[in-house]
Amino acid sequence: MTTTCTCDPKDDDAVVGGVFITGHRSGCPYAIPRRYAWMCDGQIIFGTLKKYARVYELCWYLGRLDELSQELSNQKAQITARKNPMDDLYEWHTITVGNEHVHVHIYASD
């Protein structure tokens, strides 16, 4: 017997381990961040989207984003940046894969 959750796939959002999961409410047993594999500096790394975000942030500050793959387990990460309206020195970078996303606060002054 297969069971499914009663969460609304359009309106519900859960935050689990720093990963926003669209389509599930907090406490839903299906609201579990996926684990991905990606390449960075020639090495395979495994982890959740939150771990990818930490690696992304480190690569950003080291100027090595070109060494970080945007392919996560055969899915392309979409990365968008927007200015922080409260502080011009920072940007919010949102990394999205499927129904999951994380935010990274980047110091981006020129």
Q: Does the structure show a pLDDT above 80 at 59?
A: yes
Q: Does the structure show a pLDDT above 80 at 109?
A: no
Q: How far apart are CA 27 and CA 32, in angstroms?
A: 10
pLDDT digits (tens, 9 = 90+) for 25-41: 988 999 999 999 999 99
pLDDT digits (tens, 9 = 90+) for 5-28: 888 877 788 999 999 999 999 889
E-only strand ranges, 23-99: 36-40, 43-47, 71-72, 75-76, 78-83, 90-97
* Nearest to 19, CA basis, from 32, 36, 8, 6: 32
pLDDT grade for 3, boundaries at 50, 70 and 90? low
Q: What are phi and psi of 50, to 5 degrees?
A: -65, -40
* Nearest to 34, CA basis, from 103, 99, 79: 99
The residues spanned by each domain of the chain are 13-107
